[in-house]
């Protein structure tokens, strides 16, 4: 079969990434010199952006502080297939990633879209938002609204 005969794959659209999926994508954080590939949890789609929460495998601070642990969604290594290390999903680390960036990274074959988190994730996230000692009120309110209106 030649390239012209191969069935084409459907075009990737960032807007089609399911809410509560995990994505890996290169992202340039303010304190970094260049983009680094990170895992994010998609919590909403808004105004041409995927609204995400950053994950971290640097979990010692959460594991050693019950107040911080209450304000994150925590998974032990391999509890979720894409989390090969203990992982905290951080409601305070919110990022709006433009669809255009995700689609450009996908054209470079640098995006991974993992399955949606378990059905109880929304409930766990709502509890983490409510219990967080570091999440400031404007971000807390925005996140509550986003997860209540997106399915």
| Mean pLDDT score across all residues of the chain | 91
Give the pLDDT band of residue 76 (cuts 50, 70, 90): very high
Domains and CATH numbers, the chain: 14-149 (2.30.30.110)
Going by C-alpha positions, the residue among 43, 47, 4 that lies closest to residue 21 is 43
Residues 6+ apart with CB under 8 A from 101: 25
pTM above 0.85, yes or no: yes
Arithmetic mean of pLDDT, 36-55: 95
> How many other CB atoms sit within 10 Å of the CB of residue 38?
16
pLDDT at 3 over 80: no
Q: What is the pLDDT of residue 8?
A: 56
Arithmetic mean of pLDDT, 132-148: 92
Q: What is the pLDDT of residue 31?
A: 77
């Amino acid at each position: 079969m030649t390239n012209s005969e191969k069935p084409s794959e459907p075009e990737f659209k960032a807007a089609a990434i399911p809410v509560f999926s995990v994505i890996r994508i290169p992202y340039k954080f303010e304190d970094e010199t260049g983009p680094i590939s990170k895992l994010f949890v998609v919590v909403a789609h808004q105004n041409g952006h995927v609204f995400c929460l950053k994950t971290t495998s640097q979990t010692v601070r959460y594991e050693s502080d019950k107040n911080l642990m209450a304000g994150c969604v925590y998974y032990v290594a391999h509890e979720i297939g894409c989390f090969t290390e203990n992982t905290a999903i951080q409601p305070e680390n919110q990022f709006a990633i433009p669809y255009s960036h995700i689609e450009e990274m996908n054209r470079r074959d640098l995006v991974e879209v993992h399955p949606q988190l378990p059905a109880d994730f929304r409930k766990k996230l709502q509890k983490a938002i409510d219990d967080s000692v570091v999440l400031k009120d404007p971000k807390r309110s925005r996140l509550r609204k986003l997860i209540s209106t997106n399915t």
